[in-house]
Amino acid sequence: MDIETQIINYLKSQFPNHIGDDAVLLENNNNLISKDILIEDIHFRLKYFTPQELAHKSIHVNLSDIAAMGGTPHSILLGIGIPSQQIQYAEEYLKEFIVICNKLSIKLIGGDTTKSPDKLYLSITILGHNKGKKIIYRNGAKNNNLICVAGNLGYAHLGLLQLEQNLIANYHHDYSDYLKKPTARIDEGLFFNNCDGINAMMDISDGLCTDLEKLADSSNKQAIINLDLFNFLDENFKITCGELNINPLNTALIGGEDYSLLITINQNQYTEIVTDFYNQFGYKIKQIGYISNGNGIKFIKNNKLISYKYMPFAHFK
């Protein structure tokens, strides 16, 4: 029996009645669907991702898209292209993939398993449902909305640089797990979805500036980032940026793969939402700017518009 058949049989044994036909019937209403691909040496490296870490990341990266739509994930399709030298790695990946799906009550309902010439290739399609009264899109930002972030900014980027330089042990603080094991903010997405006063929401995968610009463009608005608000950058973060010879503020602005949630909040509901959020999740929403008429993103410091050049985040150079 070839390796693809073995894998499919294994997956079937783990998710009986859900795998095997050419397509699967979805019976839920209000299905959300999203798809992400991860390619070896573009999105991850085998030399520092264990199969278990990669399983976690590949699922959570996709979950984050459902989280950002205020949804609850229920089903997943996995496409995997396996190079012949990575069969054992792929098997361990699949085992952990199933463990995580089971923990999250997500059913594997289909996919595709094939050989790959040289790189490991993952393609995940995830489905969720939204039970809220509405869906919050990224195009709903209104004038004077406060731009806020739930989650870290730049942490995963520090982890990436540390791992790429292969010098984790020499750093003051280890950020590698922020890159390797991001956690989709499903509960936070549900919370925001049920709030009045959240006008726009998306996840931050490509970095704050890049993704905020997308949100602003979708909404036909301008996003003003207030650099004075970035006082949440802590000492560990600044020390590690120093060790990596990079600017902390710029890292928070451009670092990708933190999978934080980016939201815009109506000013009238801001205090209530921030308080409720802290009471429920134990960490603070960060306010980083506001929405106005115009387009693109602008920066202010000391209440004045300033010119601030940033380089967008890139994966491996």
Tracing tokens 């699949």 back to the chain, one arrives at 94
Q: Which of 53, 96, 188, 203 binds a second copy (CB under 8 A)?
A: 203
Residue 158 CA to residue 250 CA, distance in Å, equals 12
Q: Which residues contact 229 (CB under 8 A, 6 or more apart)?
A: 286, 287, 288, 289
First-to-last alpha carbon distance for the chain, in angstroms, is: 40
Instruction: Determine which residue in the list 110, 154, 248, 255 makes contact with a second copy, applying CB under 8 A.
Output: 110
| Least separation in angstroms between CB 87 and a second copy | 15
Q: Are strands 107-115 and 72-82 parallel, antiparallel or unpaired?
A: parallel
Site map 37..76 versus a second copy, x via CB under 8 A = x-xxxxx--------------------xxx-xx-x-----
Find the shortest distance in angstroms from Cβ 292 to a second copy: 21
x/- track of binding to a second copy for residues 125-154 (CB under 8 A):
xxxx-x----x-xxx---------------
Query: For a second copy, which residue of 115, 131, 172, 301 counts as binding (CB under 8 A)?
Result: 115
* Cβ nearer to a second copy, comparing 157 with 240: 157
C-beta of 278: minimal distance to a second copy in Å?
24
- Residues 4 to 33 in contact with a second copy, rule: CB under 8 A: 20-27, 29-33
Q: Which stretch binds a second copy (CB under 8 A): 103-111, 167-175, 279-287, 300-308?
A: 103-111
187 binds a second copy (CB under 8 A): no
Distance (Å, whole) CA 113 – CA 81 = 6
- Tell me if 189 sits within 8 A of 129, measured CB to CB: no
Q: Write the binding mask 218 to 257 for a second copy: x where contact by CB under 8 A, - elsewhere.
A: x---------------------------------------
Cα gap 21→258, rounded to integer Å: 36
The answer to whether residue 123 forms part of the interface with a second copy (CB under 8 A) is yes
Contact assessment for residue 53 and residue 139, using Cβ atoms and an 8 Å cutoff:
no
Question: What H or E segment, with its residue span, contains residue 149?
Answer: strand 146-150
Contact 212, 292 (CB under 8 A): no
221 vs 72, 204, 287, CA distance in Å? 29, 18, 18
Least separation in angstroms between residue 156's CB and a second copy is: 17
User: In this complex, which beta carbon is closest to a second copy, that of residue 51 or of residue 111?
Assistant: 111
The whole-angstrom separation of Cα 294 and Cα 20 is 51
Q: What is the DSSP pairing of strand 222-226 with strand 296-301?
A: parallel
Residues that bind a second copy (CB under 8 A): 2, 20-27, 29-37, 39-43, 64-66, 68-69, 71, 77, 79-81, 109-112, 114-119, 121, 123, 125-128, 130, 135, 137-139, 202-203, 214, 218, 312, 315
